[in-house]
Amino acid sequence: MKTLISVIGTTGIGKTKLAINIAKHFGTEIISCDSRQFFKEMKIGTATPSKEELDQVPHHFIGNLSVKDYYSIGQFEKDAAEKLAELFQKQEVLVLVGGSMMYEKAVIEGLNDLPEADDENQKKLQQIWDENGIGELQEILEKLDPEYYKTVDKDNPRRLLRAIDIIWQTGKTYTENISSKIKKRDFQVIRIGIEAPREIIYERINRRVDQMISDGLVKEAEELIPFKNLVPLQTVGYTELFKYFDGEWDLDFAIEEIKKNSRRFAKRQLTWYRKEKNINWVNFENSLQESLSLLRSLKLET
């Protein structure tokens, strides 16, 4: 059976490097399921792999869209499934990598048959967001589906709008909607998670944000001001800097908020992964050797 190796873990933990090394070991290609790295204008703030990294191994779904494009998780699942089918014709093993939990789930398990967005619901929710801010959307979702609310990226309005819309349409919680049976995949999945003590994760996040600032994140965000209300830019690293440009915050405070919100997201990732049963954890200091040892023990060798 064909095999998909999925490399997961919190933001800033070293997924890109491990995925590239595993892909090089098997002479194969990488599918990205990092939903923020789809957008070509957001390279620095989403820690998109560098040109040198991308040149080492063929990557798919990185910088393939513009922030002006609408792209749903359903569209990604369809595109990723087609790409996997194409690549599996010439490869026995492929590598998936990214910290967007629902997008990884869409690839390895498939999505439930969820309804398309309802225009009326979307307009109503957009009005709530415009008039009362994201906090009210968060409160609505928490009341309707407290279980999903614990793991959703609460700062991502697209996730909130989609979940509430589906709940309103179906009369069932989002959790119930996404837990129904899905058609089985025709490849096996081996999930490798990189683990580290929480203080190491947080320290790495802080260092990464400093590096992003040094690499020109402020300039990148400034160039995206005309698009700041588009959904892809309602995300950590950009919303904070837009408040700086609007004069609400000074730059140092905005940078500290980016760090804080990035740590918050890592905490949500940890909560999500703790509930998963089939992750093979490797230590961040020795992730490649432990991963290859694990894959050998599973008889997955070239």
Q: Residues marked as binding?
A: 9-16
Whether 8 contacts 273, CB under 8 Å = yes
Strand order in the sheet with 279-283: 59-60, 30-32, 93-97, 3-8, 188-195, 279-283
**Binding-site residue positions for ATP:** 9-16
Alpha helix (H) residue ranges in the chain: 15-26, 51-56, 73-87, 101-108, 119-132, 134-144, 146-151, 157-170, 174-178, 198-215, 217-223, 239-245, 251-274, 287-297
**Binding-site residue positions for substrate:** 11-16
* Whole-angstrom distance, CA of residue 13 vs CA of residue 16: 9
Q: Which residues of 263-276 are buried (b: 16+ CB within 10 A; e: fewer)?
A: bebbebbeebbeee
